Amino acid sequence: MSAPREGAPDGAGTAPDPAQGPAEVVDARGLRCPLPVIRLAARAKDLAGGTEVSVVSTDPAAQHDVPAWARMRGHETVAVTKVSGDWTITVRLRRSDT
């Protein structure tokens, strides 16, 4: 697993903007733990392996819990960024074994 890219400075992040809607973004802003992880997992269930999916969260616990979830599920965390109070964590989904 490659190390996640971390700590882009405020305003200079490469995080997808949920309003512009690139590939797959789960908007979990305003939700508290464990809901951001639950919403992300629910979306991930319907996506193909190898897809990159981001979750945007205002809950600081998400920066720890999304990578922990990814590790437990065999997904790969590719980016953790914070832009003005919003955490964006992007994971690449594990390719199906079957």
Partner 1 sequence: MESSPPARVHLDNGGRAPWHPLAREAFLQALDDGWADPRRLHAEGRRAARLVDGSREAVAAVLGVRTEEVRFTHSHTTALHRAITAGTTARRRRGHRIVVGATERAAVLHAADSAGERETVPADRLGRADAGVFGEAVSRAGVALAALQHANGEVGTVQPIERVHEAARAAGVPLLVDAGASLGHVRVPETWDLLAADPADWGGPAGVGVLAARGHVRLPGTGPEDPEPWAPGGVSVPAAFAAAVALEAVQADLAAADARRRELVDRIRARVADVPDVEVVGDPDVRLPHVVTFSFLYVDGEALVTELDRHGFAVGSGSACTASTLEPSHVLAAMGVLTHGNVRIALDRTTSAEDVGRFLAVLPQAVAKVRETLGVRGL
Site for partner 1 in 18-77 (CB under 8 A): 32-35, 37-38, 41-42, 45, 59-61, 64-65, 67-69, 71-72
Bridge partner list, 87: 57, 82
- For residue 23, the minimal CB distance to partner 1 (Å) is 21
Alpha carbon dihedral 30, 69, 88, 62, in 10-degree steps, equals 40
List residues binding partner 1 (CB under 8 A): 32-35, 37-38, 41-42, 45, 59-61, 64-65, 67-69, 71-72
